[in-house]
Amino acid sequence: LEDLIRFFEKKDNVSLGKMLKEVENQTPLSLEILKLSSFRKGKAHIIGITGPPGSGKSTLVGKMCKKLAAKDLRIGVVCVDPTSPFTKGALLGDRIRMQELGKLPNVFIKSLATRGNLGGLASSTADIVQVLDAFEMDVILIETVGVGQIEFDVLGVADTVLLVSVPGLGDTLQTLKAGIMEIADIYVINQADRPGADESVKDLNLMVRESGKKDWTPPIHKTVATQDSGIDELVHEITAHKKYLERSGLWKEKRQTRNVARLYSMIESLLAQRVEDHINMEESLKAKVQDVMNGERDPYTTSQEIVDRLIAKHNSYQYGG
């Protein structure tokens, strides 16, 4: 434990890398790391960047990272890429650029492997972000790919969400991304030197106005990441959003909400484990679950029975009166 605390104090990239390995592999030590980091986190500005593959997210994240690093800020980058077979490869150039960035002393880059297990991805992202935060990163950039459920879960830990698109995908956005639209704080039209950029801006403007967010109107921002164009302004927008969050009290509120959500999700998984153990220990319950499986017993009565057995009645009386 002493060693761990010293690791946190050192704040160098080697210590950090070691910690994150432990957390990613869920070693016995990881729980201690997470406990310690939970008291040290809360200061980083966490930025989620999403959008379809091919929109140039990686390049954009790279350029933003470089810009922020030049301001002497400590930057963490987390790449969450739950790639389906369809999105493999093609990003070698970006990867090389990323490696260059990773050599800067105030930049730390972590790629999350998915190993086909999408379910655990959101929670391990949250853990990684927490440790980076505890290591006193000023900004954490999370790059994620837009695939349903996981995208939402991953973006749930972000203070500021960037939705990156390219000209001509306006139609796409309108039809498919309704869910994401509602959580975006800043829209980026990347590759804005391509035809149709202004139309995309116009389309998005219309949608933003229709959706009617209250205090913060998501700005729509054009970039050409490969040419470093529009990045300064984007970083400026991000800072403006941070100030808005602080001013409105949302900065604090988001952290509190996330802390409570984390507690409840942990309670939930502990209870799920207890339920599992409980059912496995009692033959009569196992048989009942089997009956439900075969449609010979209803889940409504059975779930009640199992919960009542797990939580002895007198246990609730104890506090009730």
Contact positions with its own copies (CB under 8 A) in 15-44: 31, 34-35, 38-39, 41-42
Residue 143: CB minimum distance to its own copies, A: 15
Residue 296: CB minimum distance to its own copies, A: 8
- Confirm or reject binding of residue 113 to its own copies (CB under 8 A): no
- Confirm or reject binding of residue 304 to its own copies (CB under 8 A): yes
Count of residues interacting with its own copies (CB under 8 A): 79
- Confirm or reject binding of residue 228 to its own copies (CB under 8 A): no
- Confirm or reject binding of residue 85 to its own copies (CB under 8 A): yes
Distance CA 53, CA 165 (A): 9
Residue 57: CB minimum distance to its own copies, A: 12
The region of 4-12, 187-195, 210-218, 227-235 touching its own copies under the rule CB under 8 A is 210-218
Q: Which of residues 45-74 bind its own copies (CB under 8 A)?
A: 52-54
- Confirm or reject binding of residue 312 to its own copies (CB under 8 A): yes
- Confirm or reject binding of residue 172 to its own copies (CB under 8 A): yes
- Confirm or reject binding of residue 271 to its own copies (CB under 8 A): yes
Q: Which of residues 144-163 bind its own copies (CB under 8 A)?
A: 145-152
Q: Which of 47, 98, 181, 231 binds its own copies (CB under 8 A)?
A: 181
Residue 137: CB minimum distance to its own copies, A: 16
- Confirm or reject binding of residue 281 to its own copies (CB under 8 A): yes
- Confirm or reject binding of residue 254 to its own copies (CB under 8 A): no
Closer CB to its own copies, 55 or 223, in the complex: 55
